[in-house]
Amino acid sequence: MSRRIPPHDLDAERSVIGAALVRQQVVENLKHTLDPGDFYGSQNATIWQAMLDMHDVGEPIDVVTVAARVAGQGVDHETLVQAMAEVPSVSAHEQYAKTVVEASRRRRLLSHLATLAQRGELAFSPERIGRWWNDHEEIAVVALNQQSSTLLVGECDWRDQPANLALLNQLRHKAAILNRGGEWKTIRYALFSKCGFTADVRTVADVEGILLVSIDQMTNPLVS
């Protein structure tokens, strides 16, 4: 299996950094929704962590002060100046952050699925793991083995409520579109959820062998 680049959007990451350098209030607005671990670029993560630390103690945040805070951590002054100069719109910082977080979540899903595959917990050995989309639909996680004609599709519910049967039904619909040509003889389903699953989802999962994964399991693979 060839090595694939994980989902990320470096432009959105730099735009968040640039917006925060232009307007310090951006850090206050995003401090509870955007974590340094959400950044794919290590320099961007370092800069955002520095901004959060500075905000917590009431230090001013600008190109000069942030450059001084990250000095010696692999971030140069020019990187900060460029981020500030190239941010398309400071007022769109929440959308940039949303893009960064969504990419981070996809990386976590793919990473966890790869871990399950390595541990032999998927009932088949995927040749490829990624995502699928067309002009109208998208599936967050797809794992496949062409030799056995086996496909696993997965969706995640990041809302502050348990995932319900509507999510599973939507996933079935998308899988039917993906498999319109009948290429995949076996289709397995996986649901990932921030706040667990409703009782009816668990019942269906037990009967049909659907993989259910909580956010705790994605954070700590030892959680069962």
Question: Tens of pLDDT along 100-134?
Answer: 998 998 888 888 888 888 888 888 899 998 889 99
Rounded CA gap, 222 and 224, in Å?
6
Give per-residue pLDDT as tens, 46-96: 999 999 999 999 999 999 999 999 999 999 999 999 999 999 999 999 999
pLDDT at 51: 98
For each of the domains in the chain, give its residue range(s) and CATH number, in order of start.
Answer: 10-100 (1.10.860.10), 122-219 (3.40.1350.10)
In 3-state terms, what secondary structure has residue 211? strand
Please state the pTM of the whole predicted model: 0.80
The whole-angstrom distance between residue 191's C-alpha and the CA centroid of its chain comes to: 15
Cβ neighbour number for residue 224 with a 10 Å cutoff = 6
pLDDT at 4: 61
Nearest Cα to Cα of residue 193 among 222, 155, 165, 224: 155
Task: Mark 67-99 as b/e (b = at least 16 C-beta within 10 Å).
Answer: bebbeeeebeeebbeebbeebeebebbeebbeb
